[in-house]
Amino acid sequence: MALLGIDLGTTAVKALLINEAGETLASATVDYPLYTPKPLWSEQDPADWWRGTVEAIQEVLAKAGISGSEVRAVGLSGQMHGLTLLDRDGNVLRPAILWNDQRTAAQCDEMVQRAGGMLRLRQLVANPPTTSYTAPKILWVRENEPEIYARIAHVLLPKDYIRYKLSGEFATEVGDATGMALLDVRNRCWSDEMLRLLEIPREWLPRCAESHEPTAQVSEAAARETGLAPGTPIVGGSGDQPAAAVGLGSVREGIVNVTLGTSGVVFASVEHYPPIRDTAIEVFCHAVPNTWFFMGVMLSAGGSLRWHRDVVALGHPQLVARVSGETAPYDVLLQSAAEVPIGAEGLTFLPYLTGERTPHRDPLARGAFVGLTLRHTQSHLARAVIEGISFGLRDSIELMRALGLQVNEVRAAGGGARSTVWRQMLADIFQADITLVNSTEGGAFGVALLAGVGIGIWRDTREACDAVIRVTSRTSPSSDPTVRAQYDEAYARFRELYPALKPAFVRAAA
């Protein structure tokens, strides 16, 4: 018996097979291209998604040495927000417009105006529109490609296009649907009022299910292409962030997960729908029924450290002299940072190298070192960068606490989570235990668990996580009260800098 999780990322699709004990049987990853036909545009060809998915499924079955008939159910995850348009015959009308496409700022403003103001819009769909979301992309197509718009019959998210290709069915689920800015997030259904205000036909949208619910079955045609058995159930699945949270076991209030990848994501389950407030924290439906999640997104987390390594540190004699054997430059940077006092002796780094999303929602925000003196060394720079990233993540944690969230444990994932130095820093800055778990397969693992729930292997998603996910490492905050005081002082300096420098950022962008 096997469960198949498919995670359709921005650069590649991953297929993962697990057994009932949550053990990985095999995984396979297939890359595909991304296109930027104009500055700030980001598109992909859905045909590349399907080609990659077929190859990944075939490869993972071969690696595991099993037949498609041994796969009991399929779960789908993927990049969120992307606009995939089909005509009434199911043909793709144009390349998909992705989550990181920046062409729709004017349409975001239009949505607020049509809704009668930001408060009313948030009452309808929970979150302020951003250029990431799907609804502004639909408006952009209407205004700029009317000949395409006139032929639309179906609007799908990326992973749901794979569902359509696997089954012929048009369906989605509440987590990914939240990011379209067309869902009544409180009631977990399409917002007829928002659709009316935007003049988007309700019949274009797929059926919306909960994440564990079976939504379709593998068709005869897809079975011939992939090697899966016809009739294999396909559950709702979820977008990449809630799916990854399930994969980490972040399915109860009080457990927060922080992903230290190129971007940084702070994700927290909540078991009540929060009151609408003017906050940068986003509220989405979670992959657990009657549960939501708070999310804060930092655009350049690990990306800031990579920039520092490549542009500032790489080739520096101090760094080169310490890199030997299998030691990675990142490890050396982190270790050198640990040798510098908290606060980097007055040096602060703003990690806004690609603008920022949480808490500032400012595409013009910029990175900066502030407080440089002749005393500062390469190690001080490294310390300031890592502290700046951590402080940026704390911004989201503090916003969530202000909304009433108790942070009992932070589960860390991504490349940065492998560093003991960074985990200790996060524990001291967040004032919460930082834990690692035995699951490292991300969204594909999460939706494989959801597939198991959908066919009754586990009663619900929490039982599935309890059965297969366990904490393997725990880092607690320092017992020394001066450590907390020093970090709080450094964080206060960090918080002062964005408002002070914002006018300069605007002038620099101009």
Catalytic positions: 240
222, burial (CB in 10 Å: exposed 0-12, middle 13-18, buried 19+): buried
H or E segment to which residue 18 belongs: strand 12-18
Q: Is there a contact between 77 and 243 (Cβ–Cβ < 8 Å)?
A: yes
DSSP letter string over 416-429? GGG-HHHHHHHHHH
Structure tokens at 376: 């500062």
> What tokens does 307 get?
């920039």
DSSP code, position 75: E
| Contact by Cβ (8 Å): 364, 506 | yes
- Report the C-alpha gap between 256 and 245 in whole angstroms: 9
121: CB partners within 8 A, 6+ apart: 111, 112, 115, 128, 129, 194
CA geometry: angle 280, 407, 348, nearest 5 deg: 60
Farthest CA pair distance, the chain = 70
Give buried/exposed letters for 182-191 (b at 16+ CB in 10 A, else e).
bbbbbebebb
Instruction: Give the phi and the psi of residue 332 in degrees, each rounded to 5.
Output: -65, -40
What gap in Å lies between CA 235 and CA 452, rounded to an integer? 9
Q: For residue 201, is the peptide bond before it cis, meaning its omega torsion is within 30 degrees of 0?
A: no
In angstroms, the CA 283 to CA 126 distance is 6
Phi, psi dihedral angles at 49 (to 5 degrees): -60, -45
Q: What is the DSSP string of 78-124?
A: E-SS-BEEE-TTS-B-SPEEPTT--TTHHHHHHHHHHHTSHHHHHHH
**What are residue 449's DSSP bridge partners?**
none
